[in-house]
Amino acid sequence: MGSALMKGAAAAGSVRIGFADADREKAERAAELSGGSVYPSNTGAAEKADFVFLAVKPQILGPVLEEIAPVLGKRAGAGRPPLLVSMAAGWGIAKIKALTGLETPVVRIMPNTPALISRGLIALAAPPEAQAYLETLKKILAGAGLVVRVDEKDLDAVTGLSGSGPAFVYQFIEALSDGGVLAGLSRDKARLFAAQTVLGAADMVLRSGKHPGELKDMVASPAGTTIAGIAALEHGAFRGTVISAVEAAWKRSLELG
């Protein structure tokens, strides 16, 4: 995900990008994709970068913070602290600061995988002390998709919905295309029709401003094919299952914190 965001940043404007990873080859591949460079270590990145993106899993964030904390302390003492940008689910700003023992400014973001094609949604939570960094940060992130400011208290819910949501949508597209194959379509055509249908329907929601239920009613004519399909979805507790999936992902985000 860090690579996707930096690829978008490189495409959006002039910014110097560097990568650090325990797997140097991985860092080199990411640098090649975005035209960036490779830092020799995490501390090397923390020493020089103005924006330090913590693109690691929640289980790894603690050790990484402990590793770079001495460098951050020196920079803060010299009056040039970088902005820490964490995308680790569940880890609050206060917890990150407590672990480093510093007043280095911290923001949290929650991107999703469509950032890989610059169609992501990046939720951004920032405290007042990070305000001076935000205009530049938003420009960096905008190349990967839509940036939306949210309250930090809402980030776990965002994680369950838009962070995990693409996987739920992929499953739905797969199921739709399986249905098309069952009805006699070739696999390639079924996948194309399913994906384009989801893409078009999502765009209708965004462009029309109408409630999804109203748009659904526009398609479902009396005694027609669509209402028969909707009845089958309701028989299988479709909406309740989707709601439960988002709830489960939200609760897991809380647990990771």
pLDDT tens column, 89-115: 889 999 999 888 877 899 999 999 999
Mind listing the domains of the chain with CATH numbers?
Answer: 2-153 (3.40.50.720), 165-256 (1.10.3730.10)
CB 160 within 8 Å of CB 246: yes
Tokens of 221: 């004519």
Q: What amino acid occupies position 129?
A: E
Give the model confidence (pLDDT) of 30-86 as tens digits. 888 888 899 989 999 999 899 999 998 888 999 999 999 999 999 988 888 899 999
- Rg of the chain on CA atoms, in Å: 21
| Calpha distance 217→214 (Å, rounded) | 5
Closest to 16 in 3D by CA, of 48, 43, 63, 47: 48
- The pTM of this model reads 0.88
Q: Rounded distance, CA 161 to CA 245, Å?
A: 9
**Given the structure tokens 């797997």, which residue do they identify?**
23
Q: Label residue 225 by pLDDT band (50, 70, 90).
A: very high
User: Tens digit of pLDDT for each residue in 116-173?
Assistant: 899 999 999 999 989 999 999 999 999 999 999 999 999 999 999 999 999 999 999 9
What is the Cα–Cα distance from 246 to 96, expressed in whole angstroms?
25
